[in-house]
Amino acid sequence: MLGQARYMCVIGRSGVVPEWFARVHPKRSTPVNASAFLGILTAAIALFTDLNVLLNLVSIGTLFVFYMVANAVIYRRYVKVGTTNPWPTLSFLFLFSVTSVIFTLIWRFVPPYKSKAFMLGSCSIIAIAVLQIFHCVVPQVKKPEFWGVPLMPWIPCISIFLNIFLLGSLDGPSYVRFVFFTALAVLVYVLYSVHASFDAEGDECFGQKNGEIVQESTESEDPRFKV
């Protein structure tokens, strides 16, 4: 949770959350407003919530984010908007995720008989086959200039599988809480962030805010905006 203040500061600069969170201490150059807000909020939640509930909720959020990042790495490496057809990549990501979910469900709920080992082996073979077919058929459209994830798409796919497998170890109420807080975050984004962020502005509005953006870039030496 200590690292969340840095994230809050960055997204505050982009306008996704109020710019108040982007303020930093003039002497220590730390995100003081975001740290104070998140510290008080985290302490208040921890005071009235069971530790196991918090652990599962933090775990499910973190694992889901890592899962989405792994998918995004593959998508951005194999799809170029307006140039390549995204459906082969999307179909592969869907099939690989479904196979990983089936493997996880079998691991957790099927009794330990010989048939279980057969089903797990079958899922593994199918996942590897789908991965190898995608690797041979769909070419990469982007090559990192300096550094990128090596052994594409194997390493991101390993991350996808491990995150799904670990998500399968969490209990049902954790998913209910996760859906609730995700819906709340989406609601805030739709009602506020999508209208306030710089990236979401149209060309005309962006032109009106361009002066502010340039001003921020020229004032980057101001210690209030350093982290």
Determine the pLDDT at residue 102. Answer: 95
pLDDT score, position 217 = 41
Q: Is it the case that residue 103 has pLDDT exceeding 70?
A: yes
pLDDT of residue 3: 80
Residue 97 has a CB neighbour count (10 Å cut-off) of: 18
59-100 tens-digit pLDDT: 999 999 999 999 999 999 999 888 889 999 999 999 999 999
Closest CA to 18 of 32, 33, 28, 6: 33
Residues in the chain: 227
Whether the bond into 18 is cis, omega within 30 of 0 = no
CB 18 within 8 A of CB 37: no
Find tokens 């200039």 and name the residue: 145
Grouping H, G, I as helix, E, B as strand and the rest as coil, residue 152 is coil
pLDDT tens-place string over residues 168-225: 999 889 999 999 999 998 998 888 888 777 665 554 444 444 444 444 444 444 444 4
